[in-house]
């Protein structure tokens, strides 16, 4: 009887994790580090929400809201209209000068969420404090959001990341790694499918460095620009491309790609 129960539990766990047939994993970028990820079963994950005027102060409903740190452009929960019904997780905890990492490893519906402790600068947090990385397992894909990472990664951190399919990486400097440093992190992580740059200066928001410093002389993969669309659809059952795709998303409506 115990053996039958164990087998049934394993079967139910597999069924919950299996992708819904014929549906993609959807990733939408809303400017800065604000992403929306929708699993094939419809679970909505929002990362680092903001209410920056230049990006339209978007409201995005969510089941799960993940925040890499406490800065207001990464933790604006009033951008979530159903925030009272959503599960909220910040990768940090505490207040004032007593900020520490908030270790997380949990299952939420069909998504596994883990955090990785990192810093906001290259001086072990002495200048800008701590930062959290989110590791998401969604429909068999591993999606990593680096928050405001401020340094290259250690071997121990890379082992925790494991085999990454999609990397969401800051490239705009000032508050995080810049374009050249981001290239080094990509070389360390070696994502298999997509590299999505974030947290950089755009035509409507110039507080950060331009994307060109990340793309200049890059050997990371092929570049695909999504003109007028903020959406990327991933087939979780598809084979990875021969080299990763650097997907340059717009922050607005769905449209064409090049």
Model confidence at 120: pLDDT above 50: yes
What is this structure's pTM?
0.90
The confidence score (pLDDT) of residue 247 equals 97
β-strands 44-47, 64-67 pairing: parallel
Beta strands of the chain (E only): which ranges?
Answer: 25-29, 35-38, 44-47, 64-67, 87-90, 92-95, 98-101, 105-108, 111-119, 130-138, 141-145, 166-170, 194-198, 222-227, 231-234, 245-248, 256-257
Residue 164: which of 183, 191, 140 has the closest Cα? 191
Cβ 147 vs Cβ 69: under 8 Å: yes
pLDDT by residue (tens digit) across 52-64?
898 888 899 999 9
State the pLDDT confidence band at 253, using cuts at 50, 70 and 90: low
pLDDT by residue (tens digit) across 131-160?
999 999 999 999 999 999 999 999 999 999
Model confidence at 255: pLDDT above 50: no
Can you tell me the distance from the alpha carbon of 148 to that of 131, in angstroms, rounded to the nearest whole number? 6
Tokens standing for 181? 């440093």
Can you tell me the distance from the alpha carbon of 123 to that of 157, in angstroms, rounded to the nearest whole number? 16
Structural domain boundaries in the chain: 23-257
CA-based max dimension of the chain:
63
Burial class (CB in 10 A: 0-12, 13-18, 19+), 217: exposed
More confident call, 11 vs 186: 186
Model confidence at 1: pLDDT above 60: no
Place of tokens 């925030």: 83
More confident call, 18 vs 29: 29
The confidence score (pLDDT) of residue 12 equals 45
User: What mean pLDDT comes out for the span 183-202?
Assistant: 96
The confidence score (pLDDT) of residue 11 equals 44
The confidence score (pLDDT) of residue 75 equals 85
User: What mean pLDDT comes out for the span 26-30?
Assistant: 96
User: What mean pLDDT comes out for the span 28-54?
Assistant: 95
User: What mean pLDDT comes out for the span 236-254?
Assistant: 90
Task: Write the CATH number of the domain with boundaries 23-257.
Answer: 3.60.15.10
């Amino acid at each position: 009887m115990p053996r039958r129960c164990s087998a049934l539990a394993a079967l139910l766990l597999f069924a919950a994790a299996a992708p819904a047939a014929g549906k993609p994993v959807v990733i939408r970028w809303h400017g800065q580090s604000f992403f929306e990820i929708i699993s094939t079963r419809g679970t909505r994950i929002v990362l680092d929400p903001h209410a920056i005027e230049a990006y339209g102060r978007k409201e995005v409903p969510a089941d799960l809201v993940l925040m890499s740190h406490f800065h207001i452009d990464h933790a604006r929960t009033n951008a979530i209209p159903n925030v009272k019904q959503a599960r909220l997780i910040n990768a940090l905890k505490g207040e004032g000068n007593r900020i520490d990492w908030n270790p997380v490893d949990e299952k939420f519906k069909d998504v596994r969420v883990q955090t990785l402790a990192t810093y906001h600068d290259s001086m072990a947090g002495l200048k800008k404090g701590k930062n959290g990385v989110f590791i998401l397992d969604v429909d068999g894909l591993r999606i990593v959001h680096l928050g405001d990472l401020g340094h290259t990664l250690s071997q121990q951190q890379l082992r925790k990341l494991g085999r990454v399919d999609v990397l969401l990486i800051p490239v705009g400097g000032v508050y995080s790694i810049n374009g050249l440093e981001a290239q080094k992190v990509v070389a360390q992580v070696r994502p298999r499918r997509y590299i999505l740059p974030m947290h950089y200066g755009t035509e409507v928001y110039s507080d950060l460095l331009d994307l060109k410093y990340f793309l200049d002389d890059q050997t990371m993969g092929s570049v695909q620009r999504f003109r007028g669309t903020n959406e990327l659809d991933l087939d979780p059952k598809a084979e990875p491309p021969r080299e990763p795709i650097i997907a340059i998303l717009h922050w607005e409506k769905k449209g064409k790609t090049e």
